[in-house]
Amino acid sequence: MEREQHTVSDRKVKHEVKSDKIKGLIHQILGILLAFSAFAGVAGFGMEWLDEELINSFGVLLYAIAGFGYTAYTIYKNHFSGRKAQKQNEELKRKGLK
């Protein structure tokens, strides 16, 4: 069973691409909220609470959630989560390598 070889730069590029994708999605959500806020103001809806400060703080919350989700997923994947990985972990313990 051979493993696919990756360089550090390959992994870094993949990480940056995922990060850019998440940042783009968050920017799209914030843009929609800002546009909705402007529309609500023009249409005369009473939404004074939906101001730019609230939308920016919501963006910070989304970045924090995305960072936590990515970290939690990485930890989950790196701690022998799947059946194959559990078998590998068992074999490493038998050989005294872990």
Report the pLDDT averaged over residues 18-46: 87
Q: What is the band of 60 on the pLDDT scale with cuts at 50, 70, 90?
A: very high
Q: What is the band of 43 on the pLDDT scale with cuts at 50, 70, 90?
A: confident
Return the percentage of the chain with pLDDT > 70, whole number: 89
The pLDDT of residue 62: 92
The pLDDT of residue 6: 63
* 5 has a pLDDT exceeding 70: no
> CB under 8 Å to 98, separation ≥6 — which residues?
89, 92
Residue 89 burial class via C-beta count within 10 angstroms: exposed 0-12, middle 13-18, buried 19 and up: middle
* 90 has a pLDDT exceeding 90: no
